[in-house]
Amino acid sequence: MVILTRWRGQSLTISTKPNCLTLSLQSGRDTQVYSFDGEGRFWTGIVQNISYRRGLDGKIVAKWQEGNSQRERRWLSQVEAQTLQENARRFCADLLAHLQTGQVLLNPPLDETGWTFLTRAAAFTPERYRQDIDHYHAVYRPVGILPPDQYMAVVLQAAEGCSFNTCTFCNFYRDRPFRIKTPEMFREHMKAVRDFLGEGLSLRRTIFLGDANALVIPMPRLVPLMEAIHEQFDVEQLGGIYAFLDGFSAEKKTPADYARLRELGLQRVYIGMESGNDELLRFLKKPGTAEDVVQAVQAIKRGGVAVGIILLLGAGGHQFSAQHVADSIRALQAMPLDADDLIYFSELVEDEGMQYTRDAYQANLRPLTPEERIAQGEAIEQALSFSEEGGTPHISRYDIREFVY
Ligand code: SF4
């Protein structure tokens, strides 16, 4: 339902959906937009041409465009995030008060969902946000990373951490040992996730099985965990189950295994291949070879499950660039990819605390500029060809600096 009216001499649009409330106030060229989930949590906003997105962990990323240049981003400080949330809450509280006292009239009137969501958003005080963030941390180990098309998933941590944790460019799971939950522990975790999300669950689109490589869990343990998901979530309605598979030296699954997982709702497996060049993979201390990835993809696709292949642009600098491009093209072309699949180009993001940065310095690697990284992705993309029958996988960028859950 969309309601248009005037409020405080400006144009107000109230949009209610079964899963969210969006308020938009326009004055001349300036528009303020705030949206909230079914619990009343601030979700997204636009203020003075800067867009904001809040994760369930309370962190808010701001994005904007500088002239004609590329998109800029930064994470808000805690104080900035609190201020933005409180501005959004006051907006709701003031509007609610004016609606209740008849100072603003709506035609058609606000429906029941709209009243409920607006009342909840108006009651999401700074204290309530603090409790919500504490609740989040009681339910989840920090969610390290998700593929970009899965930021709105319900993450269920069937396992925690990464069973390899060796890759020099990845610090996502250094803070925790790898462990697989028992079905009982997993059931408790899922119940806690449901309690935490509350009506915010309706905004979520898929289920993502965490953490880094949940699909290395051997089948006799994985199947009961997947079955347990169906006890607590309507998997089909939520759009199925998605997961990472990373590192290939351990558990190898057959096409029949993937067909069984498909029956249990598995839709797509995301694989951090990083590169098709084995020498570069060794330099990155990534377990397995490009051929392992190709074989895994063949097994997954034969089982009727789609894949998302992630390549790391800029890895190995100029010294590895030619081999990285040529062998990545070769590996991708050896995979039976089609229109159901995704290819992500993820730029290497270095920081001083990273083993990769130290290794690259010692090996005298000359890093690629951001433009050269993009050109590397374009060189790979332009060399790929796919069958007309199967269609072309969707190819896009994966910027880990924008990850929010
Ligand atoms: S296997 Fe994946 S999650 Fe684990 S350390 Fe390597 S890149 Fe990170």
Q: Mind giving me the DSSP string for 62-113?
A: EEEE-TTS-EEEEEPPHHHHHHHHHHHHHHHHHHHHHHHTTSS--SSPP-HH
Task: For the chain, list the domains and their CATH numbers.
Answer: 2-132 (no CATH), 141-402 (3.20.20.70)
Question: Can you tell me which atom of ligand 1 is nearest the CA of 286?
Answer: 6
Cα 346 to middle of ligand 1, angstroms? 14
The secondary element (H helix, E strand) that includes residue 209 is: strand 207-210
Atom of ligand 1 nearest to the CA of 163: 4
Q: How many A from CA of 250 to the centre of ligand 1? A: 13
Q: Cβ(5)–Cβ(104) under 8 Å?
A: yes
Substitution candidate for ligand 1 out of 141, 162, 215, 349 with most atoms within 8 A of CB: 162
Tell me how far the alpha carbon of residue 164 lies from the centroid of ligand 1, in angstroms.
6
Q: How far is the CA of 33 from the centre of ligand 1 (A)?
A: 37
Read off the tokens for 182.
């028992």
| CA 165 to ligand 1: nearest atom | 5
Closest residue by CA, ligand 1 atom 2: 246
pTM: 0.95
Place of tokens 């910027």: 399
| Digitized pLDDT (tens) for each residue of the chain, 405 residues in all | 999 999 999 999 999 999 999 999 998 888 999 999 999 999 999 999 999 999 999 999 999 988 776 788 999 999 999 999 999 999 999 999 999 999 998 999 999 999 999 999 999 999 999 999 999 999 999 999 999 999 999 999 999 999 899 999 999 999 899 999 999 999 999 999 999 999 999 999 999 999 998 999 999 999 999 999 999 999 999 999 999 998 665 568 999 999 999 999 999 999 999 999 999 999 999 999 999 999 999 999 999 999 999 999 999 999 999 999 999 999 999 999 999 999 999 999 998 889 999 999 999 999 999 999 999 999 999 999 999 999 999 999 999 998 999
